[in-house]
Amino acid sequence: MISYTQLFLKTFKISAVTFGGGYTIVPVMRDVFVSKDALILDDEMLNLIAIAQSAPGPIAVNTSILIGYKLKGIKGALVTTFATVLPPLLIITVISFFYVQFQTNPIIQAALLGMRGSISAIMGYAVFSMGKNTLRNHRYFSAVLMIIIFLLGYFTPIPTIALIIGSGLTGLIYFGMIKEKVL
Amino acid sequence: MIYLELFWTFIQIGAFSFGGGYAVLPMIQKYVVEQHQWITLGELADITSISQMTPGPIAINAATFVGVKVAGIWGGVIATIGCVLPSFILLIILAYYFFKHSNLHFVQNILKGLRPAIVSLIALAAISLTLIALWTYPQGDLLSIDNLNLSAIVSAAVSLFLLIKFKLDTIGVIAVGAIIGIIIYLI
């Protein structure tokens, strides 16, 4: 069994040194908790990752919440959540103060403008690959929903939350009721 | 009261940013940039790039950044807690249910509908952020060629090339963008 302190330290370390979000941090967590320490079985870990992806929020935080819950119940979940959130919280707090001070520095401004260009490209590329991946399953359903949501989001003042709830319900009704009856 | 407002806003953002990563951007754009005007669209672009170079997910980084900017250190803490709270509660419920029944079929069906929608919502946020990046005009509504931002256009083009051709990771791409920005400024 693992102690709360160990659980905290392990999760904190993973969160502090892993850059690049969910797709890089989840394999590291798996490596630590499944391979090295054998605290969680591989199958269980895959289930946890699947559940992590079914809730809103970042996959990295969600996975660590579930690891904590699996190992030590709700208290464990609180410990791992705190340990995961703490490193970025500290780092970004420091950066925020510098950001305000550096806003008038022309060199930093120039660097940030260049970075804005890069992030546009990164996001464009990400949207493209996400779209391609999504269209791999249920191609027509996904394509139609994608176009409808894009048009509604662009041309109407319907709130984002309403669009999200609406599309979730559409999936629930389409796949839960219609498809199951046909098959 | 500003703390309460921050907390509630980020609870909503946390509760509806399905899909992780960039999925939080459309929510932040709507609630933080447009509704409360706590940060500008340009600042959202900046924090998104900074996020790529520091550990931690964009959602957490953005919550901390906005919170600190609006209400200092405690603002950052409160916004971050608000952002995590909904998924925390929902996940404990889902995990409890899953360990008992070991299936989450209905959740999977909801997700099949959410995934394509999220792509479109992220695409819309990406378009806004790209417009603000490529045109320096403060409001971003005057899309004339005079206001085009040269360094952002060059770095966007170079970044796209590096991403597609060499599969360079995002930290590298952002660093290249920063260097291009500084070089163009100096010449």
pLDDT one-digit tens code per residue, A93-128: 999 988 888 878 889 889 988 999 998 998 899 889
| Interchain contact, A20 vs B49, CB within 8 Å | no
Nearest CA to CA, how far is B38 from chain A (Å)?
A: 14
Establish if B138 belongs to a structural domain. yes
Identify all chain B residues contacting A82, using CB atoms and an 8 Å cutoff.
none
- Rounded to an integer, the average pLDDT of B123-151 is 75
Q: Which residues of A touch B27 (CB under 8 A)?
A: 160-161
Is residue A176 less than 8 Å (CB to CB) from chain B? yes
**Residue B185 domain-assigned (yes or no):** no
Helices (H) and strands (E) in chain A, counts: 8, 0
Contact (CB, 8 A) for A45 and B81: no
B24 and chain A: CB distance < 8 Å anywhere? yes
Q: Is residue B170, in this structure, part of any structural domain at all?
A: no
Cβ–Cβ of A81/B84 closer than 8 Å? Answer: yes
pLDDT at residue A183 in the model? 45
Looking at the complex, does the CB of residue B121 fall below 8 Å from at least one CB of chain A?
yes
Question: Does B82 reside within a domain?
Answer: yes
Q: Where are the domains of chain A?
A: 4-102, 106-182
Question: Is residue B139 very low, low, confident or very high in pLDDT (cuts 50, 70, 90)?
Answer: low
Q: Is the pLDDT of residue B26 over 80?
A: yes
| Per-residue pLDDT at B92 | 95
pLDDT < 70 positions in chain A: 20-23, 179-183
Query: B146 vs chain A: nearest CA distance in angstroms?
Result: 16
Burial of A36 (0-12, 13-18, 19+ CB in 10 A): exposed
Q: For position A43, what pLDDT does the model report?
A: 81
Q: Which residues, numbered 25 to 44 in chain A, qualify as contacts with chain B under a Cβ-Cβ cut-off of 8 Å?
A: none
Range of the domain at B85: 2-148
pLDDT at residue B110 in the model: 86
Assess if residue B159 is contained within a domain.
Answer: no
Q: DSSP letters of B60-92?
A: HHHHHHHHHHHHHHHHHHHHHHHHHHHHHHHHH
In a domain, B108, yes or no: yes
- At residue B140, the pLDDT reads 46
Residue B137: per-residue pLDDT = 55
B36 pLDDT higher than 80 = yes
Nearest to B173 among A118, A147, A170 (CB): A118
* Residue A97 contacts B, CB cutoff 8 Å: yes
Name every chain A residue with its beta carbon within 8 A of the beta carbon of B156.
117-118, 120-121
Q: Examine residue B41 and state whether it is found in any structural domain, yes or no.
A: yes
**Residue position matching structure tokens 């060059």:** B154
Note whether A56 contacts B159, CB cutoff 8 Å.
Answer: no
The gap between the terminal CA atoms of chain A, to the nearest Å, is 45
C-alpha A56/C-alpha A177 separation (Å) is 24
Count CB pairs under 8 A between chains A and B. 361
Domain count, chain B: 1
Residue B75 has pLDDT above 80, yes or no: yes
pLDDT digits (tens, 9 = 90+) for B85-131: 999 999 999 999 888 877 778 888 888 888 899 899 989 988 988 88
Domain membership flag for residue B137: yes
Q: Which residues of B touch A51 (CB under 8 A)?
A: 91, 94-95, 98, 104
Which pLDDT score, from 0 to 100, does residue B141 have? Answer: 53
Is A112 in the B-facing interface, judged by CB distances under 8 Å?
yes
Half-sphere exposure of B172 (CA within 13 A, CB side): 9
Give A98's contacts in chain B (Cβ within 8 Å): none
Whether residues A118 and B155 touch (CB distance < 8 A) is answered with yes
Distance, in Å, from the CA atom of A134 to the CA atom of A143, rounded to the nearest integer, reads 9
Judged on CB neighbours under 10 Å (0-12, 13-18, 19+), A140 is exposed
